[in-house]
Amino acid sequence: MMDTEVDRELLEKIADLVGKPVGAFNIRKDCGCDGRESTEHIKITGKTDKQGIDIRIADGTHGEQCHIPVIITKPGISEMVYNDFYVGTNCDVDIIAGCGIHNCGNETSQHDGVHTFYVGKGSRVHYVEKHYGEGDGKGGRIMNPQTIVYLEEGATIQMDTIQIGGIDSTKRYTKIVCGKGAEGVITERLMTAGDQIAESDMDIVLDGEDARGRVISRSVARGNSSQRFKPCVVGNAKCFGHVQCDSIIMDNAKIQSVPEIAANCTEAQLIHEAAIGKIAGDQLLKLETLGLTEEEAEDRILKGFLA
């Protein structure tokens, strides 16, 4: 586990791991398991019918973490992985995922994954997923994640999805179905450059009375990259939903933002907002008067925007 410097650097970038994880974990490397450990309350087992794992979290589990990062260090790898999470009632847990690709070859490396969450009554899940690519090869670095969440009564999930650089192509799909009094919150941060392509589709379905859904998407597109966002909130009962998409466009990039709201109940309250623009000149000027170069000023503004 974590045999090389590349392994260690990737795991630190995508999962903030330094050394052996604390708590339950499953580290996947180059299509195989590179380390796994369960705890008393969180059990991780490999699937027998396809690639992936099952994570079962016992009722009443509080204050525990589960790390499930994926790293690819060889060119030419293409995999599809299925991970299912069964979260019991009245839990409060953090799940840290993420995928890192180090590709120094000429063949494309690709990781596709389907994560499905079944979250029990009154439980809270904080789910963090970071994607990162690196390497000086000509081979592509591709990631296509799908995340499907079913929230029972009073359950909540806070999803933080982050693409921190180096991914040539990504197609993301996220769906959250909220029961009575449940809440789903997605915070998305994404940066593209060069000729990179990013697409993100989201569906938040507010089925239960007093369900709540929120999407906060922030992105930066540089170079010749292109981005497309299509978040949709559907209200099928008395509920509240809010979609907010903010993007900074630079150079020759292209951004398309298509927020959608759909109400199927007179008691549904749904709001959407979207904004695309460039960095304001007065912001740059202010930082440059403090001694920063234009490049340093841009970098600081973008980091603050995506924070």
Paired tokens of 74: 């060889």
Residue 120's contacts (CB-CB under 8 Å, 6 or more residues apart) are 59, 87, 88, 89, 90, 91, 152, 155
Give the lowest-confidence range in 88-97, 219-228, 295-304: 295-304
Beta-carbon count within 10 A of 89 CB: 17
pLDDT tens for residues 268-297?
999 999 999 998 888 888 888 888 888 888
pLDDT value of position 298 = 86
**Average pLDDT score, the chain:** 95
CA gap 54, 46 in Å, rounded: 6
Contact by Cβ (8 Å): 270, 261: yes
pLDDT tens for residues 92-108?
999 999 999 999 999 99
pLDDT value of position 244 = 95
Average pLDDT over residues 145-152: 98
Going 141 to 198 to 218 to 264, the CA torsion angle's sign is: negative
Average pLDDT over residues 205-218: 97
pLDDT value of position 183 = 98
CA gap 4, 80 in Å, rounded: 24
Contact by Cβ (8 Å): 262, 233: yes
pLDDT value of position 3 = 79
Angstrom CA distances, 83 to 50, 68, 109, 158, 160, stand at 10, 9, 20, 18, 18
Contact by Cβ (8 Å): 198, 229: no
Inform me whether the pLDDT recorded for 181 exceeds 80: yes
Inform me whether the pLDDT recorded for 2 exceeds 70: no
Give the lowest-confidence range in 26-35, 54-63, 261-270, 286-295: 286-295
pLDDT tens for residues 240-273?
999 999 999 999 999 999 999 999 999 999 999 9
CA gap 169, 166 in Å, rounded: 9
pLDDT value of position 271 = 97
Contact by Cβ (8 Å): 11, 100: yes
Is this structure's pTM higher than 0.85?
A: yes
Average pLDDT over residues 152-171: 96
Inform me whether the pLDDT recorded for 1 exceeds 70: no
Q: Please, which residues bridge with residue 65 across strands? A: 94
Under the phi-then-psi rule, with left for phi > 0, alpha for psi from -120 to 50, and beta for the rest, what region is 224?
Answer: alpha
Contact by Cβ (8 Å): 55, 49: no
